[in-house]
A and B are shown apart, each in its own frame.
Chain A
Amino acid sequence: MRPPRVARAAFRRLSPRTRGALLRRAGLFAPWEDGYGLTPPAPAPGEHTGPPDFVGIGVQKAGTSWWYELIAGHPGVSARPDLHKERHYLSHFGTRPFGPSEVAEYHGWFPRRAGTITGEWTPDYLAYPWVPALLAEAAPAARLLVMVRDPVERFRSGLSFRLAQGALPTEATEALAVRQGFTAASLRRVLDRFPKEQVLVLQYERCAADPEGPLAATYRFLALDDGFRPAGLHRSVNVSGAKLDLDPEARRRLVELYAPDVDDLVGMFPDLDLALWPNFAGDTGDTGDTGDTGDGGPATGRRDGAVTGP
C-alpha cells in the first residue's frame, strides 16, 4: 500500500539520516544496510538462477549506474527492475561464515531468461578487502568490470555524495572516501584470485567523452553482440551534483597521496590515458577542477576505449 501523497512529501523533507532511521525502524532496509534480508526473491516463470555472468566491482561515483544501464539495455541481458543493480550480498560476509549455502543463496539473486546473461554492479566490492576471496568462491567464472576515475575527483564526488546521503561528517566518512580511490591496491587483491583476462578496466572520463567505443568493448568482453546501440548512450547517470571544495594545498597533498597508486595502476593497465586525469598528467602542471564531464583531452589509447580486455 502506498502512503498518501502528503505523507510522502513530508517524508522527503526530513533529513536523509532521519529518513533512513525511520525506514530501518519500519523494517525497510537497503541492500547495503545491516538488516537487509539476504534471501532472494523467487524466480519468475521461465527464469532460472545461477552464478552471475558478470560482476561490476568498482568504483563508486564513476558512472557505474549509467554503464550498468547500458549493459542491462542489451537484449542479451536479463535485468529485473525489482532487483537493485548493487546486490551487496558479499558485503555482508566480512566476519560471517560463508559456505555452500551462502554461495547458493548468492546465485539465487541472479534470475535470468534462457539464452541471456545477467549480473550485478556493486561499486563498493573493490574497496572491501574480503570480497575477492568470496567472489572467487561464489562466481569463479564471472567477468569482472571496474570503472576507474581520477581518484582526486572521485574523492570529492564521493565525499559530497556520502554527506548528502546523511553520513556523519566524521574522519571515518572521509577515510572511506579516500580509501575508495586506491584502485591499484584493491585491484591487486582481485588479480590474486582472477586472471587478468577476466577483468575489464574502463576509464570513466573516456567513456563519458566518447561512450560508443568503450561500450562496444564492454559488450564484446561479455560475449554480447557489439553492434547493439542502447538508449541513453550519451547520458551519464548519478555522477553530477555539488562537489566539495578542496583547498589547493590539500589537493596537492591528495595528488601526492594517490600518485604511487596511480603509477601502479598505469603499470598494470598501460592503456589507461593519464591525459584524461590532469591531476596526474605529469608535467602539465594543471591541477585545476577537471569537472565531471571528463573532457580533459583527446583519447590517446586504444580506439575501442577499453583499458584492458580479453
Chain B
Amino acid sequence: MTWKDGVADLFQRAPAGLRGRLPAEQRADLRYYLGRYRPWEAGFDRPPPEPAPGQVTGPPDFVGIGAHMAGTGWWYRLIADHPGVTSRSDLPVARHYLTRFITRRFGPEEVDGYHRWFPRAPGTITGEWTPSYAARPWVAPLLPLACPEARLVFMVRDPIDRLLLGLARTSDSRASQAGDHMAEAVDRGYYAAQLRRVLAVVPSDRVLTLQYERCVADPAGQIAATYRFLGLDDSHRPAGLSRPPDDPAGPVPPLDPGTRRRLADLYAGDVADLAGLVPGLELRRWPSFAP
C-alpha cells in the first residue's frame, strides 16, 4: 500500500460529517491528487479484479446502454438474480469502460482490457449496465468492436420525468455551469437519436428497448421477455420483482404547465421517432406525449 492509498483509506474511514465539512470541489481535488478516480472519470485506470477460481473472462453477453434515472439499477438486479447469470458484487454494475475512449486509442488491447471486466462461472452469462453508453455518441461505434455478439438492453422512461429526476441529482457542474448541467440532462432524453446511432452498427434483433412505466405496471411479463431476449429460462421469478425501488432523486418534482409544454415540444419529434423504432412503446403511459 502506498502512502497515497493510506491517506485515501484514512479519509474514507473518517466520519461522513467530518468529510462533508470539506467543500465538494476540494474533495474532488484531493481525490485526484491521491489518484482516486471514479469509473466515469477520464483518469480512472484501476485494473479489474482477478477472476475467482473457476471463473473465466470474455466479452459481456449483455450490455445495458441506458437510460440514466430510468430504473436500470432495479432491472439489472432482477437480471442478476437469475441463476444463469454471474454478477459479482465487487464489480460496479456500470463499468463505464467504453466512455473513456473519446481522446484515447481503442484497439485490440483495449478490447481485451474490457473483456477482463467480465468474469463468469462456466455455463452462465454476464454483463453490465452503464446508463450513459447510449447518451455518449462516441460509444456506439465501439460496441461492435468490444462485444460484437452482446445483446443490448435500453430502458427508456418519460423523457420529462427523466429530465426532472436527473436535474434533481446534485452535481458539481450544477453550480458552476447551470446551462451545461441542464443541457446534459436534456440530452440524455433524446432516446430515438441515441437508438439510431446504435442501430446503425448493431442489428435490431440484438437490441431490446424496454419502457420503464410498462415494467412498473407489468414486471413479470417484462422480465420474462428480458430473460428470453438474453437466452435465459423465462420461468424464473426473481426477488424484488413487484416494486421498483424509490427513485434515488426522490419523487418526480412538479412542473408548471407552460414549462411542461415547452419541454414536450422539445422532445416531441424524438418521441415520435422512438414510437416508430419501438413498436411496443405505449405512449399512453407518457401523458405529455399521449396521442
Q: Which residues of A contact B (CB under 8 A)?
A: 15, 17-18, 20-21, 24-25, 32-36, 88, 91-92, 94-99, 124, 127-130, 133, 159, 166-176, 178-179, 244-250, 253-254, 256-257
Whether A171 pairs with B40 at a CB distance below 8 angstroms is yes
Q: How many residues of B contact A (CB 8 A)?
A: 55
Whether A92 pairs with B178 at a CB distance below 8 angstroms is yes
A99 to chain B, nearest CB (A): 7
Task: Given A20-B25, A170-B42, A253-B106, verify A32-B179 contact (CB < 8 Å).
Answer: yes
The yes or no answer to B199 lying at the interface (CB within 8 A) is no
Contact of B258 among A17, A34, A92, A99 (CB under 8 A): A99
Contact of B103 among A128, A170, A244 (CB under 8 A): A244
Residues of A close to B107: CB separation below 8 A: 249
Task: Given A179-B183, A256-B141, verify A130-B175 contact (CB < 8 Å).
Answer: no
Residues of B close to A124: CB separation below 8 A: 179-180, 183
The yes or no answer to B135 lying at the interface (CB within 8 A) is yes
Whether A178 pairs with B262 at a CB distance below 8 angstroms is no
The yes or no answer to B263 lying at the interface (CB within 8 A) is yes
Whether A171 pairs with B132 at a CB distance below 8 angstroms is yes
A19 to chain B, nearest CB (A): 9
Task: Report the bound CA distance from A33 to B258 in whole Å.
Answer: 24
Residues of B close to A15: CB separation below 8 A: 29
Whether A178 pairs with B40 at a CB distance below 8 angstroms is no
Residues of B close to A175: CB separation below 8 A: 132, 135-136, 184, 187
Write 22 A-B pairs (CB below 8 A) sorted by A numbering. A18-B25, A18-B29, A20-B25, A24-B176, A32-B178, A34-B175, A34-B176, A94-B183, A95-B167, A98-B258, A128-B179, A169-B42, A170-B42, A171-B42, A171-B96, A171-B102, A176-B183, A253-B106, A253-B138, A254-B102, A257-B138, A257-B141
A92 to B, closest residue via Cβ: B178
A156 to B, closest residue via Cβ: B103
Task: Given A20-B25, A94-B186, A98-B259, verify A250-B40 contact (CB < 8 Å).
Answer: no
Residues of B close to A36: CB separation below 8 A: 178
Contact of B259 among A24, A97, A170, A247 (CB under 8 A): A97
Secondary structure class of chain B's binding surface, majority of residues: helix
Residues of B close to A95: CB separation below 8 A: 163-164, 167, 182, 255, 259, 263
Whether B138 pairs with A178 at a CB distance below 8 angstroms is yes
Residues of B close to A129: CB separation below 8 A: 183, 186-187, 266
Whether A21 pairs with B183 at a CB distance below 8 angstroms is no
Task: Given A34-B175, A95-B263, verify A176-B184 contact (CB < 8 Å).
Answer: yes
B199 to chain A, nearest CB (A): 14
A28 to chain B, nearest CB (A): 12
The yes or no answer to B247 lying at the interface (CB within 8 A) is no
The yes or no answer to B284 lying at the interface (CB within 8 A) is no
Whether A33 pairs with B259 at a CB distance below 8 angstroms is no
B107 to A, closest residue via Cβ: A249
A36 to chain B, nearest CB (A): 8
Q: A20-B25, A250-B101 are in contact. List 5 more A-B contacts (CB 8 A).
A: A96-B259, A171-B40, A179-B187, A249-B106, A253-B106
B163 to chain A, nearest CB (A): 7
Whether A253 pairs with B182 at a CB distance below 8 angstroms is no
Residues of A close to B266: CB separation below 8 A: 129-130, 133
Task: Report the bound CA distance from A21 to B167 in whole Å.
Answer: 20
Whether B136 pairs with A94 at a CB distance below 8 angstroms is no
Task: Given A98-B262, A170-B41, verify A17-B186 contact (CB < 8 Å).
Answer: no
Task: Given A21-B26, A130-B262, verify A172-B184 contact (CB < 8 Å).
Answer: yes
Whether A168 pairs with B172 at a CB distance below 8 angstroms is yes
Task: Report the bound CA distance from A274 to B83 in whole Å.
Answer: 56
Task: Report the bound CA distance from A159 to B102 in whole Å.
Answer: 11
